[in-house]
Structure 1
Amino acid sequence: MADTKEIVPAGTVSHHEIAPEAEKPQLSHEEELRGRDFTISEINLPKGYFRSASFLGSMFAIGLSFGCGVGGFALAAPILGFIDADIGPDPNLTWVAISYLLTNSVGLTLVGRLSDLFGRRWFFIGGNILATLGCIVSATAPNIPALIAGETLIGLGAASQLSYASVIGEIVPTEYRFLAQGYAFLWGIPFSGFAPVIGYSFVFQSSVGWRGVFYVLIALNVVSTLCWVLFYRPPTFNMKHGKGRKTQFVKDFDYIGTFVGVLGLILLLMGLSWGGSLHPWKSAHVISTIVVGFVLMVAFVLYETFGNLKEPLIPMRLFRNTGWVITILLWALGASVYYAMAILWPSMVATLYSSGHSSMWAGWTSCLSNCGILFGEYCGAWGKKKTNYQIMVVFFIGSALLASMATCNPDTPVRAMVLVFIAAAFIGYNEILNSTVATIVIDDQREIGTATGVAGSARSFISTICSTVYTVVLTNRLAETRPAKVPSALLAAGLPSTSIVAFFAAITAGTPAAWAAVPGLTPAIQAAGVRAYQDASSSAYSTVFLTTIAFSGIGVICSFFAPNVDHLLTKDVAVTLHERGTEMIVKDRATGGEEKV
């Protein structure tokens, strides 16, 4: 074996003799941090590379784990009320969503940066293991605190599962990244698009109940974990940086900035999520967390910019790329428009349009916004040329259609369904274009994980702000419109004034027993009250849809500055995979032997 000549540290299955040490180009400090450049043209790829087990198995792992990362919360979110009724009630139910949001948002940046430096393989394997454990905890949860713990683990795991863009962007040629992203989004159809139907089906049409959601996720997470282990072998740390340097990288890592940045982002998101739900907006809990979080985030940016760090958590040079910054803003603002639909549409269906229909009908109808997003993402995957012009068009049309939802009322269910699906489709089109451009427009593909991780965290942060605004506007408007319209309609229909409070309790519960407990209620009075309640709610929803214009307007302006990446759509592959046992093998010239790194 001493005479064997082996592989370039490009992580490919192609075989080249490694140049003598004296012939290796000297790398600058920044290049050393980013690691070796593994870019290879498609024409130089090994024959059958895209049909190899490594590539196909990795693509399967990417898609399945992405679906599990989305479904880890999306499948449970529509049925949280039923879960609370089973193992609650608990006033901390909101933390089920908050815990997933916080851990996922913070984890995206950490996974992106650390996997850029140390190699991605074990971060993705570990993330899927965490998600599996989280699903086990959730499936066996005896109470809401246990479910919160499970969703915390699921959110941590989802930080790697939802970092699909950095992996898929590396292993396919740049010009095919739009299609590859579209492939990943196809996996979101059952986990996001039809999440309400699947959740309702387990509750109403199965013996296992809501726990069945997590049973399915356990099995799928196990399969995806095995696929990562068996097939995904990108360049290792030693391939990126050379043998014996890991200790130095660990020593030089930006621990102070990471602590300050993570804590600041957690506090900011926590304060925004608390406001109006767990605590009043004027409470010390909300104000103090938001203020302290904001101060820490400012301190983090200053520290990263002027701290002269060897290995910063977020290289500030990323933000000197105007095209990348604009793309992130468009991605986040488009997502914020989507969140308006995610928050409002299921509520609108339940309040305005579900009367006389079954629970499963409400579940199917609630799928329209998510399905529209996924449909648009798939359509956008095919339009890789002149994406800057496409973004201008689709963002404007999607925003206009969403704002036009303000014209809908209890008598226009078909109009509402059509508008919400088409508006979501255009926003989904915007989503895939910007999420893919964000991986292409960066200056150095060796930082694709960092760039997409920061982008994902920024998307979550901006979307949380916008969602908070929508929720506050809706809550405040409902507090005005319902008391203004419903009591007067009930009194005019003949309901005693002493029964008005009971009527509101009954319409919230929606059960026959609750309606029977309202003194003096007749079918005619009930119909009049329900109609007034729907009209009052419709007015509030209309206001929120009009509020989206403020955010979508900013997005429309930004869309005029969207970068054109046509010249970057090459057939180059940023990183290739290797088979087990073909990691970089270098000849130990001192001993005449070989050393496997």
Structure 2
Amino acid sequence: MAADAPKIMKPEQVEDVTGLESSVEKQSDGGDAVVDVQQEDEKISWRLGLAFAALVFQVICYETTLLIPSTILSYIEADLGPDPSYTWIANAWSLCAAVVVSIAGRLGDIFGRRYFMLCGSTLAFVGAIIGATAHGIPQMIVSGIFFGIAAGIQETYYACLMELVPYKRRTFFIGLGCVCALPALISPLIAYAMMDHYSWRACYWYMCAIGAVSFLLLFFFYNPPNFENKYNGTKNRLELAKEIDYVGLVLFTSAGVLLLVGLNFGGRAYPWKSTETLVPLILGLVLWPAFGVWECYTKSKLPLMPTRLFRNIRSFVVVLVVCFVSGMFYYSLPVLWPKETALFVPASETIRRGAYAALTNIGTWVAGISLVLIFSRLDHERWQIVFCLVIQIALTGSLASVGVNDNAQVVVTVFLLSCFVNQPLFISFSIISLALEDQADIGVASGVLSTIRLMGGAIGVAIYTTILSNVYTPRLIRNINEVVSATGFPENETSVLLKAAVANTAAAYKAVPHITSEVITLSERAVKKGNLYASGVVWLTAVAFGGLSVISACFIRSTPRSRKTATRAVKLQNELSTVEASRDE
């Protein structure tokens, strides 16, 4: 390999490098200090700083395409609907991103990451244009698919970032990236502000601009090692393309898509026992073990999921288990918080609703600050994760006791909960990356972690929405019957009042015969009580998943301090060019 070709080092190799440096220092003439290679690696050049800014903008782009459409979904449906499939505008993001992120991570490991990331920004840009000019829900769903595929590619940001920064500062930079992504985290508030002055289409033009800027920043400032330097001329793209595990790729994609489609159909678009739900669900569940068997017992030169990753039980497999279960735990928040926001904030107060919607994201920002200032400076990652999960369990249990007048308790508790939600995921990225036998696997390893967490979240959402529908409806019927008994409302018109309560709008109540202001007030309170009761059951279910995640986390192996060195896995292409130019001089 050429002297200036980027070498992807294993963390354990660093001790040998350190010993060599010490030896060289001792042999230096006249006692002059020799520049320490590790110190030079740790130094953050301005080129790396610009690359970091370009990568952070990928986070802003994919988070914005997730948060804004889900925030304004009801407004889109009101304008372009009615269409019962409108929820797929948001669901398509999760489905596509969960499947694509692992594939993009693996292909980036093989071919290089630059052009994949540029492709992700381009797809986000196109998806935003499709959404901004759409004239129907089907076009909006296509926009969501573009966003999801783009997000899956852009979420390989974690691999892009971690391989460029010093090993010991990976957690720090992940946290710093979260802090710098504040524009994405407040995007629900931005969306509501745009809705207040313009329309939902303005939000899509805003996302279009973000996609364009993210592409330009990548194009000019993100230059990881190119294909020639990765292989030093020993391979060409066609040869590698022939060696890719296409059967594994088809099995993985099919299993992921079918399972997620079945989970999204069940209890929402179709009953759980319907053919439309069971067929994709069962096929997905069958194809997952088939994919595992294929990867284990075939001799593909470039398998989609290298089995060597799964030999590391405590620093990889157990981390995946924790992320899967904590994903089920975490996604109780995005399922329930929008519902509770609607209960406590009138629909007419769009800016206030935007502030409530952004509350959990501001908590994520605080979590990023805590990573930069506290967690990245500590060892014992296992206990850091356990600590955060225990805090989450305690606060989630508190939410199960919320009453109809406990607005302040809800806001404070949800904010505090959000401040401890993301540290386990971010720390997990650092753990698995530093435990790899070969840093060339960092893309697929981080991609699998993202897929597992999103899969766990999808299963959690399916469970939570089923519980909500099964618990809320009978509770609402009971509460409305109590309203009828207390107010003397005609019993033969109870079904009409119940239908209005389900809609819970001023227009629906106004259409009910013999309605009075007292009946409306008590009915609205009955709706709130029914929702909070059902939410309480879901919060308690989430606590159970949280307990499982804590037990699993106790078996994680913390990263040995010897692996937290100042070495970088790779350097930017323009950094290498600078070194070569200085040598020529």
| TM-score, structure 1 normalization | 0.87
SS at match of 2:85: coil
2:301 corresponds to 1:307: no
Task: Measure the CA separation in 2 of the matches of 1:498 and 1:188.
Answer: 56
Query: Could you tell me which of 436, 439, 443 is aligned with 1:445?
Result: 439
Q: Which residue identity lines up with residue 333 of structure 1 in the other structure?
A: V
Q: Which residue identity lines up with residue 93 of structure 2 in the other structure?
A: Y
Match of 1:387 in 2: 381
Match of 2:24 in 1: none
1:500–1:61: structure 2 CA closer, same or farther, 3 Å change rule? farther
1:541–1:324: structure 2 CA closer, same or farther, 3 Å change rule? same
1:504–1:369: structure 2 CA closer, same or farther, 3 Å change rule? farther
Task: Measure the CA separation in 2 of the matches of 1:439 and 1:505.
Answer: 53
2:318 corresponds to 1:326: yes
2:394 corresponds to 1:400: yes
Task: Measure the CA separation in 2 of the matches of 1:286 and 1:124.
Answer: 34
Query: Could you tell me which of 6, 10, 19 is aligned with 1:10?
Result: 6
Match of 1:429 in 2: 423
Query: Could you tell me which of 149, 172, 179 is aligned with 1:179?
Result: 172
The Cα shift of 1:87 comes to 1.2
Cα distance per residue 1:291-337 (max 9 Å; x no partner): 11111111110000001211100101111112112222323333332
2:180 corresponds to 1:161: no
Cα distance per residue 1:179-209 (max 9 Å; x no partner): 21112212443323x3332222222x222x1
Are the equivalent residues in 2 in contact too, given 1:139–1:215 (CA < 8 A)?
yes
Are the equivalent residues in 2 in contact too, given 1:331–1:435 (CA < 8 A)?
no
Match of 2:192 in 1: 200
1:7–1:220: structure 2 CA closer, same or farther, 3 Å change rule? farther
Query: Could you tell me which of 209, 225, 240 is aligned with 1:235?
Result: 225
Match of 1:23 in 2: none
Taking every aligned residue pair, what percent have the same amino acid on both sides? 28
SS at match of 1:518: coil
Query: Could you tell me which of 250, 267, 279 is aligned with 2:270?
Result: 279
Are the equivalent residues in 1 in contact too, given 2:480–2:498 (CA < 8 A)?
no
Task: Measure the CA separation in 2 of the matches of 1:261 and 1:459.
Answer: 16
Task: Measure the CA separation in 1 of the matches of 2:388 and 2:229.
Answer: 42
Match of 2:563 in 1: 568
SS at match of 2:331: helix
Task: Measure the CA separation in 1 of the matches of 2:371 and 2:323.
Answer: 14
Match of 1:27 in 2: none
Are the equivalent residues in 2 in contact too, given 1:337–1:548 (CA < 8 A)?
yes
Task: Measure the CA separation in 1 of the matches of 2:219 and 2:91.
Answer: 30
Match of 1:409 in 2: 403
Are the equivalent residues in 1 in contact too, given 2:329–2:543 (CA < 8 A)?
no
Query: Could you tell me which of 303, 308, 322 is aligned with 1:317?
Result: 308
Match of 2:529 in 1: 535
Task: Measure the CA separation in 2 of the matches of 1:483 and 1:195.
Answer: 37
Are the equivalent residues in 2 in contact too, given 1:116–1:449 (CA < 8 A)?
yes
Match of 2:285 in 1: 294
Task: Measure the CA separation in 2 of the matches of 1:206 and 1:441.
Answer: 50
Are the equivalent residues in 2 in contact too, given 1:182–1:377 (CA < 8 A)?
yes
Task: Measure the CA separation in 2 of the matches of 1:187 and 1:213.
Answer: 21
SS at match of 2:126: helix
Query: Could you tell me which of 515, 519, 525 is aligned with 2:509?
Result: 515
Q: Which residue identity lines up with residue 43 of structure 1 in the other structure?
A: Q
1:476–1:256: structure 2 CA closer, same or farther, 3 Å change rule? same
Alignment of 1:16-415 (within 5 A): 41-45=37-41, 50-52=44-46, 54-192=47-185, 194-203=186-195, 205-207=196-198, 209-243=199-233, 244-322=235-313, 323-351=315-343, 353-354=344-345, 358-381=349-372, 382-384=374-376, 385=378, 386-415=380-409
Task: Measure the CA separation in 2 of the matches of 1:126 and 1:428.
Answer: 27
Query: Could you tell me which of 522, 545, 552 is aligned with 1:551?
Result: 545
Q: Which residue identity lines up with residue 205 of structure 2 in the other structure?
A: Y
SS at match of 2:223: coil
Are the equivalent residues in 2 in contact too, given 1:94–1:278 (CA < 8 A)?
no
Are the equivalent residues in 2 in contact too, given 1:66–1:188 (CA < 8 A)?
yes
Match of 1:461 in 2: 455
Task: Measure the CA separation in 2 of the matches of 1:187 and 1:154.
Answer: 21
Stretch deviating more after TM superposition (281-290 or 509-518): 509-518
Are the equivalent residues in 1 in contact too, given 2:318–2:552 (CA < 8 A)?
yes
Q: Which residue identity lines up with residue 9 of structure 1 in the other structure?
A: A
Are the equivalent residues in 1 in contact too, given 2:191–2:203 (CA < 8 A)?
yes
Task: Measure the CA separation in 2 of the matches of 1:507 and 1:486.
Answer: 8
The Cα shift of 1:511 comes to 4.2
Task: Measure the CA separation in 2 of the matches of 1:278 and 1:512.
Answer: 27
Specify every segment of 5 or more residues in structure 1 that has no aligned partner in the other structure, as ranges: 1-5, 13-39, 586-597
1:532–1:468: structure 2 CA closer, same or farther, 3 Å change rule? same
1:549–1:512: structure 2 CA closer, same or farther, 3 Å change rule? closer
SS at match of 2:375: coil
Task: Measure the CA separation in 2 of the matches of 1:41 and 1:287.
Answer: 58
1:105–1:494: structure 2 CA closer, same or farther, 3 Å change rule? same
Give the root-mean-square deviation of aligned CA atoms: 2.3
SS at match of 1:76: helix
Task: Measure the CA separation in 2 of the matches of 1:187 and 1:498.
Answer: 59
The Cα shift of 1:249 comes to 1.3
Cα distance per residue 1:251-298 (max 9 Å; x no partner): 111001111111111101110111111111000111111111111111
Choose between structure 1 and 2: higher helix proportion.
2
Cα distance per residue 1:219-251 (max 9 Å; x no partner): 111111111111111112222223243222111
1:490–1:168: structure 2 CA closer, same or farther, 3 Å change rule? same
The Cα shift of 1:508 comes to 4.5
1:330–1:189: structure 2 CA closer, same or farther, 3 Å change rule? farther
Are the equivalent residues in 2 in contact too, given 1:275–1:281 (CA < 8 A)?
yes
Are the equivalent residues in 1 in contact too, given 2:400–2:539 (CA < 8 A)?
yes
Task: Measure the CA separation in 2 of the matches of 1:114 and 1:583.
Answer: 28
Q: Which residue identity lines up with residue 327 of structure 2 in the other structure?
A: A
Cα distance per residue 1:418-473 (max 9 Å; x no partner): 21111221222323222332322222211100100111111111111111111111
Q: Which residue identity lines up with residue 339 of structure 2 in the other structure?
A: S
The Cα shift of 1:481 comes to 0.8
Cα distance per residue 1:51-109 (max 9 Å; x no partner): 33x31221111111111101112111021011011111111112212221221111101
| TM-score, structure 2 normalization | 0.89
Q: Which residue identity lines up with residue 268 of structure 2 in the other structure?
A: S
Cα distance per residue 1:335-378 (max 9 Å; x no partner): 33221011101101212x22598232233123222322332232
